[in-house]
Amino acid sequence: MPLVTSEQMLEDARKGGYAVGAFNVENMEMVKAVIGAAQELRAPVMLQTTGSTIKYGSMETYAAIVAAEAKKATVPVCLHLDHGSSFELAVQAIKAGYTSVMIDGSHENFEDNIAVTKKVVDVAKACGIPVEAELGKVGGKEDDTEAEADTNTDPEEAKEFVERTGVSSLAIAIGTAHGFYVGTPVLDKERVSAVKKLVSVPLVLHGGSGLSDEDVRDCIRRGMCKANFATELRAAYTDAVKKLLAEHPETFDPKKLGVVGMEAVKNLVMDRMKVCGCDGKAN
């Protein structure tokens, strides 16, 4: 089916008490793997690209690949800009065919974050495209996005932020981090519950790679409706390729590398979809 926006799938997740899995993809093989997993499990799915991925392959290329693969599927597929760093980048994504965008103004102060987010929302909603924003700082590093320290989201600020910007979903900081964790993460799960009481839009969990299944499930029970996974997909793909080359160093056909990478990513994505509870939820 054609690409859909994230709005209905996230609203269904909010009402149904599960989360939509959102998976960062880097190439055609990962796109095929993620959509293949969604098709097999009958799950709605979001595919995401970050700024560095876009620099590598261009928005137009990823939009074309994802749209082509989604057209062959019978489950809802959304293409999302992850951690959009500017108004201009968000608009570029909309023009390229992305069906959901994130504007990440979390590195700005509260008022400037509101200003840039509202600017994106005004344009995106006129085009029927939902907008995700971030309030508070998720630690760690993902591509070009890096936070020097974690600053968890204030529930009252979250309420004001959503009301003044009109965003469709909100990523909140609760102690998660981008990339792999150093040590065991300490999550402020009560903050999820507190924000949910004051905010009506779906909440988003960033930094899902490396969290325990129980931590992810608990965050979802408390109100997270979208869960992002990136680093562990990259690792699964790369590890599978390394293993093949170690066992068969004579391999030179890139397609054979892609096949093992796809299989590893697909298996991981199916596991994460089951943890999120979105399997069997495709309309």
Q: Which residues are annotated as a binding site for Zn(2+)?
A: 83, 104, 134, 178, 206
Q: Which pair of tokens denotes residue 75?
A: 């489950």
What are residue 76's phi and psi, to 5 degrees?
A: -65, 130
Residues belonging to the binding site for dihydroxyacetone phosphate are 179, 207-209, 228-231
Q: Give yes or no for a contact between 37 and 269, defined as CB atoms under 8 angstroms apart.
A: yes
> Can you tell me the distance from the alpha carbon of 39 to that of 69, in angstroms, rounded to the nearest whole number?
11
Q: What are phi and psi of 243, to 5 degrees?
A: -65, -45
DSSP H helices in 172-280: 189-198, 213-222, 231-247, 254-276
* Assigned token pair, 54: 């876009």
Edge-first strand order for the sheet with 177-178 is: 145-147, 139-142, 177-178
Structure tokens at 222: 């408390």
> Length of the chain, please?
283
Would you give the end-to-end CA distance of the chain in angstroms? 12
Alpha-carbon gap, residue 101 to 120, rounded angstroms: 9
User: What is the C-alpha to C-alpha distance for residues 199 and 209, in angstroms, rounded to an integer?
Assistant: 25
> How many C-beta atoms surround the C-beta of residue 26 within 10 A?
20
Catalytic residue check, 215: no
Q: Which of 12, 82, 150, 215 is catalytic?
A: 82
H or E segment at 146? strand 145-147
Residues noted as catalytic: 82
